[in-house]
Amino acid sequence: MAFALAGCAHVISKEILMEVDKGISYEKLSNNPGEYKGKTVLLGGIIVKTENKKDGTLLEIYETALDSYGEPINTDLSKGRFLAMDKGFLDSEIYRAGRKVTIGGVMNGVEVMKLGEIDYSYPYLVIKDIHLWEEDPSFKYDPYYQNLWDPLWGVPWHSWRYYPYWPYTRYYYNNTYRYYSNQENPKRQDNDKGRVMQKALEKTQNNNSQENSVKIQNNKGSVIEKIQEKKQND
């Protein structure tokens, strides 16, 4: 696993990043856990399970690659699992299964636990710094949707927030999503048409009312004039 620690705002503190041995990957930890005991490493991935214990909170995580900000990416690809112990309390409803985390921690050996019916050797970290990533509400493609005319089709969605995609995707997808939402929702279209017709009818009625009031005033004026003329003649 390769990652960049400079040139961008990393989520792990600078102090911990200074301690991280950039040459230690998950594969090395998994293959030779004893060799790297006591080393500070940077790992991240997706929480599988959270267990609150008397001496802290134990996270079981499946590892993924990290981008230059430290965010887990390519979350459907993993080289294995690891354990991370935080000496404090991490609420299991917040640090729940499926959330992305990035961890700077000290390698503390290996722990063998049951994974299904097999004995699995987990690299074991003691957490020095942890970042829980926000759940991303940004627009994602439906798995059954394909638009080969879309200029960003095929660009990984996690890249959309970064340069050079974000300035364009923000405008493009706000407008595109609004358009297709209307196209795919006939009821919404009918409601929109109904509102337009209602406004047009109200406007017509208002105009007719104004015209009628003018006619009535003109008629009143004509009647008064005729009455006055008749009085003068008499």
Contact in structure between 125 and 84 (CB atoms under 8 Å)? yes
How confident is the model at residue 207, as a pLDDT?
A: 67
CATH number of 14-132: 2.40.50.140
How confident is the model at residue 202, as a pLDDT?
A: 77
3-state secondary structure of 105: strand
Low-confidence ranges of the chain (pLDDT < 70): 1-8, 136-194, 196, 207-224, 227-228, 230-231, 233-234
How confident is the model at residue 174, as a pLDDT?
A: 52
Rg (CA), the chain: 34
DSSP 34: G
How confident is the model at residue 198, as a pLDDT?
A: 74
How confident is the model at residue 148, as a pLDDT?
A: 46
How confident is the model at residue 200, as a pLDDT?
A: 72
Listed in sequence order, the residues at least 6 apart from 19 whose beta carbon sits closer than 8 Å to its beta carbon are 40, 104, 128
Rounded CA-CA distance 102/227 in Å is: 94
3-state secondary structure of 43: strand
How confident is the model at residue 234, as a pLDDT?
A: 61
Domain chopping of the chain, boundaries: 14-132, 157-228
DSSP state string for 213-229? HHHHHHHHHHHHHHHHH
36's tokens: 């790297």
Listed in sequence order, the residues at least 6 apart from 141 whose beta carbon sits closer than 8 Å to its beta carbon are 153, 157
